[in-house]
Amino acid sequence: MNVRDSEHMIAELNAKEPYELTEELGDADLIIINTCSVREKPVSKLFSEIGVFNKYKKESAKIGVTGCTASHLGKEIIKRAPAVDFVLGARNISKITKVLEEKHAVEIDINHDDSSYAFGEYRTNPFKSMVNISMGCDKSCTYCIVPATRGDEVSIPSDLIVSEIAKAVKTGAKEVMLLGQNVNNYGKHFTANDEKLNFTGLLQKISKIEGLERIRFTSPHPLHMDDEFLEEFANNPKICKQIHVPLQSGSTSLLKAMRRGYSKEWFLNRCEKIRKLCPEATISTDIIVGFPGESEEDFEDTMDVLEKVRFEQLFSFKYSPRPHTAAAEFEEQIPNEIAGARLTKLQARHTEILDEVMDAQMGRVHKVYFDELKAGGKVSGRSDDGKLFFVEGSEELLGEIVPVKVTKVSRGALEGVVCN
């Protein structure tokens, strides 16, 4: 989401006057720090980064802080770091050219509605595109700061989504990543029109775009994984067979305390359904350990779900208390050592599972979409099910979808040869 927000800001700036990205801090006229506030660590990093940028930047260069931390700290940022010229919340990025002209502007309105705003064109990678389908979140998970920083959920009109994707396809993208906090809740909160499309309908509409070959999306919510959606996922040939199903915890009572709206059984049932309808699909997840009140038994429930589903990819975090969240006030916060030990155990078991999954890939053939030149005469890309591939090759492979046979496996990536 933040990567796409950054692209939107670059596009808006460029539409006004030409900007160029630079790796040299001393060359920059504008430094934007686009922040995340989901966990505490990046927030503390922000202020040390501002200090470094301020020390080495050109005197005339401006510093802007944008994104979720900007939303929740607002003018506090300028108070703590007067070197900052403007603060722009996650929901306000269309105002980037406006705040540039004001001294110490702070725009953090979480009700600001950008849902029908057509941003300019800028993409980091011409072969892949990211397109927002909704903004904000209508849930209130008790650990999560996002509803406070990105505001209420709004679905973006489907015609705007289609025209964004069509533009990207015209300039070489065969793949789109649809973005939203809860993509499969699409269609519940249109503001400006009377559309009646849900996420399945949107996927069907997008599939008709000529030249678009691959559709990915992130993140769906397990609660909204109804049969209609899972059948569309399994049967629509343009939809990549990789799905993120964020578990958070395997314990039904903890899921309740997290206000996730589903039980362990519902989660397992949805994953079984995915495996049944689409055995080739990879399933990834997010897990939080050390949520307030998590007992050994609760944690064992999480381990049990890992064992049953065997997620190919796991993003796991120690619970981090956040401002504006209910769980930060819960009693029974878990000591850091216990949460740390649980995280280590979870990750160690996942690593074993991943090694088995990747070892089984040896000799298999995947269709890989190549999108990046790498050092040492290599090109990288992703298989339909989301695995990272490296093969020997050059520009002629970029933008192509070709069959590749796996010749070497490792935990993070596969190597292979093109087999025509």
Upper half-sphere CA count for residue 172 (Cβ side, 13 Å): 12
CB of 137 to ligand 5AD, least distance (A): 11
On the question of a cis peptide bond just before residue 219, with omega within 30 degrees of 0, the verdict is yes
Task: Region of 172 please: left (phi>0), alpha (psi -120 to 50) or beta.
Answer: left
Under 8 Å between Cβ of 245 and 270: yes
How far is the C-alpha of 347 from the C-alpha of 364, rounded, in Å?
A: 26
> What is d(CA 136, CA 139) in angstroms, rounded to the nearest whole number?
9
Contacts (CB under 6 A) with ligand 5AD, residues 205-264? 246, 248
Quick one: angle between helices 296-309 and 264-277, nearest 10?
10
Instruction: Say whether residue 146 binds ligand SF4 (CB under 6 A).
Output: yes
254 binds ligand SF4 (CB under 6 A): no
**247 in contact with ligand SF4 (CB under 6 A):** no
Question: Between the CA of residue 6 and those of 11, 36, 61, 135, what are the distances in Å?
Answer: 9, 12, 18, 15
DSSP letter (8 states) at residue 334: P
Cα gap 319→76, rounded to integer Å = 25
Q: Which is nearer to ligand 5AD, 261 or 403 (CB)?
A: 261
Residue 404: C-alpha distances to residues 87, 354, 359 (Å): 46, 21, 16
DSSP designation for 248? B
Under rule CB under 6 A, residue 345 binds ligand 5AD? no
Of 134-142, 235-243, 350-358, 400-408, the window that binds ligand SF4 (rule: CB under 6 A) is 134-142
Sign of torsion, CA 123 127 133 139? negative
Which listed range, 64-72, 124-132, 144-152, 271-279, lies at the site for ligand SF4 (CB under 6 A)?
144-152
Which DSSP string corresponds to 184-242? GGTTS-BSSS-----HHHHHHHHHTSTT--EEEEE---GGG--HHHHHHHHH-TTB-SE
Q: Which of 30, 38, 61, 418 binds ligand 5AD (CB under 6 A)?
A: 38
Out of ligand SF4, ligand 5AD, none, what residue 319 binds, judged by CB under 5 to 8 A for its kind, is ligand 5AD
Helix or strand (DSSP H, E) at 381? strand 378-383
Among 144, 255, 346, 391, binds ligand 5AD (CB under 6 A): 144
Q: Which residues pair with 65 in a beta bridge?
A: 33, 87
DSSP string, 95-125: GHHHHHTSTTEEE--TT---TT-------S-
Residue 198 interface partner, choices ligand 5AD, ligand SF4, none, CB cut-off 5-8 Å depending on type? none
The reply to whether 39 sits near ligand 5AD by the rule CB under 6 A is yes
**What's the closest the beta carbon of residue 297 comes to ligand SF4, in angstroms?**
23
Report how far residue 19's alpha carbon sits from residue 15's, in angstroms, rounded to the nearest whole number: 9
Tell me which of ligand SF4, ligand 5AD, none is bound by residue 147, counting a contact when its beta carbon lies within the kind-specific cut-off of 5 to 8 angstroms: ligand SF4
Taking residues 94 to 133 in sequence order and writing x for each that binds ligand SF4 by CB under 6 A, - otherwise, the string is: ----------------------------------------
Please identify, using beta-carbon distances, which residue of 27 and 329 lies nearer to ligand SF4: 329
Binding mask 170-209 for ligand SF4 (x = CB under 6 A): -----------xx---------------------------
Least spacing, CB of residue 216 vs ligand 5AD, in Å: 17
Question: Residue 379, interface with ligand 5AD (CB under 6 A)?
Answer: no
Size of the site for ligand 5AD (CB under 6 A): 12
Contacts to ligand 5AD from residues 311-330, by CB under 6 A: 317, 319-320, 322
C-beta of 106 vs 287, nearer to ligand 5AD:
287
CB 87, min distance to ligand 5AD, A: 22
| Binding stretches for ligand 5AD (CB under 6 A) | 38-39, 143-144, 246, 248, 286, 288, 317, 319-320, 322
Positions in the binding site for ligand SF4 (CB under 6 A): 137, 139, 141, 144, 146-147, 181-182, 221
